[in-house]
Structure 1
């Protein structure tokens, strides 16, 4: 009887500890992936919509937010996510403030993704007309950095305009009420403003500034050390989704629209301005350095991050 009890205890004990030991290894790791619900993050949206994570053996918790890259960066820094996608400005701010973060890769670039929309009542016809005007922009985002570069190019000190830091969900209403004269943002925010303000128009994109505004994948270094194979598989999935975006954009747009709730035709139009490719070449490094130097001059960075250290070698 005593031997039976001992044997039963051993069986129960083993069944309790073995799953726990398995979860300590890489096979049992759940990857928490954070990204905004916007077309610029299409590879992540598509990976979720097509079940590509699961098909490639990854157990993923998708943390999808309604805001932008700055909120994603905050989640990563707080330890609420393992991997996150964001624009250049929030990524550089994050890696400069937290040594536990690494840049895995860039997955998208676009000179034309950031748009400047102006109201009819503002009478803004050119860059110089922005002086004295109120421009809504989501502070700390890639668009924010691009807007500052644009103002500098045209000889406008940021103190000569009123930058109104409000969440982009409120851009349309702010323009309707006459609280702002212009908005700067990337899709879907510019189109949302145009849809709800029929007399508004696009003044320009924030292109021609020598910057490709790369969007990046960041990872927590402790997760990377514990799960290097998971990180490699994740990058492979993202590359597959980039192929889908390049080769079958209409199909991709319809899948994206299912997640974002926007008409697929508008998502397709937005996709046409974005270039999908993984990797960090010298052009991307130059863009990142340019943005970092400008953020430093604007007091958004205390120091320029060492890109050689910040970028994870593949």
Structure 2
């Protein structure tokens, strides 16, 4: 995560109201054209960065309004907290990493996915080109910044094994998420474990040096990443809203994919911690490469398959992030989700 993410001087996440007071009463607003809209909050996985452009673009283009939604986008403080806040009804919907969702459900948190949109993991080993790393074998003897207990560090041993390496072939330097980029730039570590759609472009911008990646998905290990989530109360009492939200999000992603520059521009003013435009553009360009697996190629953004879900659950169980694997339906509300 970026050093900028330590700046948490905004409205506390858990004090955010879940409704807005329009003239039609709590929970509704009225559009300029007189249409009644449901006031909806969406809490992100973190402060806004390039990956989130579709939400701002969909709001700007009135895609959410078309589906009867007046959307308020809130910064988050990590996927785990977003999962918890969504389950507790402190936000209507969340945008969170699937491993955090699986772990939460495993611990009894009442939340489900409405659809994973980043279906190819952005998990990667990141380093400057000067390290001359081109294959996993080149990682032997390297020191890599990772954060104990997170999904990246937990799944890294599986990545190593799939590529004929042992955990002892590398040294993991336990590093605070916000300090990983600084560790690589300062030379304290040779590389970091991060998301290709997030840290890499920021590290390149800060150091003015080219960054290279070994993506997990390019080397035998893929699993679901970020997606839309909802708590049990929304699903039980406001199923129609959940279905409209899924469709609005899917349309927004499809529109943003076709218009990347306007989508990134729509993020202007989204946060005081917003990365520079060139970083946002590179982050989003990488993000759109993550939208599908082979099973969903050509489908609308957010269409999932049970097979891809099962594979992700199995990997997270192997990584120790899920202790008691359950049926796919315990994690994914397929009845509300988009159909292929």
Shorter-chain TM-score bucket reads 0.7 to 0.9
Q: Which residue of 1 aligns with 2:309?
A: 285
Of the structure 1 ranges 117-126 and 204-213, higher mean CA displacement relative to structure 2 is found in 117-126
Please tell me whether the aligned partners of residues 89 and 145 of structure 1 are also in contact (alpha carbons under 8 angstroms): no
Q: CA RMSD in A?
A: 3.5
Q: Secondary structure at the match of 1:108?
A: coil
Task: Pick closer, same or farther for the CA change 1:272–1:44 going to 2, 3 Å.
Answer: closer
- 1:142-161 aligned at under 5 Å gives the runs 143-144=152-153, 146-158=155-167, 161=170
Q: State how far apart, in whole Å, the 2-side matches of 1:149 and 1:306 are.
A: 23
Q: Which residue of 2 aligns with 1:189?
A: 199
Q: State how far apart, in whole Å, the 1-side matches of 2:68 and 2:92 are.
A: 17
TM-score, normalised to structure 2's length? 0.71
Task: Pick closer, same or farther for the CA change 1:281–1:125 going to 2, 3 Å.
Answer: closer
Please tell me whether the aligned partners of residues 129 and 211 of structure 2 are also in contact (alpha carbons under 8 angstroms): yes
Matched, 1:294 2:323: no
Q: State how far apart, in whole Å, the 1-side matches of 2:269 and 2:120 are.
A: 23
Q: State how far apart, in whole Å, the 2-side matches of 1:159 and 1:49 are.
A: 50
Please tell me whether the aligned partners of residues 117 and 184 of structure 1 are also in contact (alpha carbons under 8 angstroms): yes
Q: State how far apart, in whole Å, the 2-side matches of 1:238 and 1:244 are.
A: 10
Q: State how far apart, in whole Å, the 2-side matches of 1:123 and 1:104 are.
A: 41
TM-score, normalised to structure 1's length? 0.76
Q: Which residue of 2 aligns with 1:213?
A: 224
Structure possessing the higher radius of gyration over alpha carbons: 1
Matched, 1:103 2:103: no
Q: State how far apart, in whole Å, the 2-side matches of 1:164 and 1:42 are.
A: 32
Of the structure 1 ranges 266-275 and 84-93, higher mean CA displacement relative to structure 2 is found in 266-275
Shift of 1:234: 0.8
Please tell me whether the aligned partners of residues 68 and 141 of structure 1 are also in contact (alpha carbons under 8 angstroms): no
- 1:80-95 aligned at under 5 Å gives the runs 80-95=90-105
Please tell me whether the aligned partners of residues 37 and 65 of structure 2 are also in contact (alpha carbons under 8 angstroms): no
Q: Which residue of 2 aligns with 1:14?
A: none
* Deviation readout 1:254-298 (Å, 9 max, x if unpaired): 3246644432542453244232612221442243233323233xx
Q: Secondary structure at the match of 2:315?
A: helix
Q: Which residue of 2 aligns with 1:306?
A: 327
Q: State how far apart, in whole Å, the 2-side matches of 1:133 and 1:179 are.
A: 11
Shift of 1:106: 1.7
Please tell me whether the aligned partners of residues 314 and 325 of structure 2 are also in contact (alpha carbons under 8 angstroms): no
Shift of 1:77: 4.6
Shift of 1:200: 6.0
Q: Match for 2:41 among 29, 32, 39?
A: 32
Q: State how far apart, in whole Å, the 2-side matches of 1:247 and 1:125 are.
A: 31
* Deviation readout 1:31-79 (Å, 9 max, x if unpaired): 33111323334433433444543453324442213x5433423433554
Q: Secondary structure at the match of 1:266?
A: helix
Segments of 5+ residues of structure 1 without an aligned counterpart are: 1-18
Q: State how far apart, in whole Å, the 2-side matches of 1:53 and 1:273 are.
A: 24
Which one has the bigger helix percentage?
A: 1
Q: Which residue of 1 aligns with 2:181?
A: 172
Please tell me whether the aligned partners of residues 134 and 214 of structure 2 are also in contact (alpha carbons under 8 angstroms): no
Please tell me whether the aligned partners of residues 50 and 284 of structure 2 are also in contact (alpha carbons under 8 angstroms): no
- 1:249-268 aligned at under 5 Å gives the runs 249-256=260-267, 259=270, 260-264=274-278, 265-268=281-284
- 1:120-159 aligned at under 5 Å gives the runs 126-138=135-147, 143-144=152-153, 146-158=155-167
Q: State how far apart, in whole Å, the 2-side matches of 1:266 and 1:157 are.
A: 33
Segments of 5+ residues of structure 2 without an aligned counterpart are: 1-21, 29-35, 293-300
Number of positions where the alignment pairs a residue of Structure 1 with one of Structure 2: 291
